Amino acid sequence: MMEFHIDPESPAHKPEFSQDKTYVFYCASGGRSAMAAVVAMDMGLSPVVNLTGGVGAWKKAGGALE
């Protein structure tokens, strides 16, 4: 579904993906989000970053979670 939300020509396009901001992709361990970030960049979304190591690494480093 992500591809449909990013594509401005799609009827399912989400306006959040047309804003001037950095898009951070994350998942539990960083693998799935890395693949999603590549797809997003290939579609022209920018700037895109992946949270390396995912939420697990974030928590281990003392990052806050809500």
1-60, pLDDT tens digit by residue?
A: 889 999 999 999 999 998 899 999 999 999 999 999 999 999 999 999 999 999 999 999
pLDDT value at position 58?
97
Q: Are 38 and 66 in contact (CB under 8 A)?
A: no
The whole-number pLDDT of residue 28 equals 97
What tokens does 61 get? Answer: 């480093």
pLDDT of residue 2: 87
pTM comes to: 0.86
Query: What residues have CB less than 8 Å from 64, skipping those under 6 apart?
Result: none
Q: What does the domain layout of the chain look like in residue ranges? A: 2-57
Q: Which tokens go with 42?
A: 């290939």
Helix (H, G, I), strand (E, B) or coil at 48: strand
* pLDDT for the residue 14: 94
CATH 3.40.640.10 is held by the domain 2-57: no
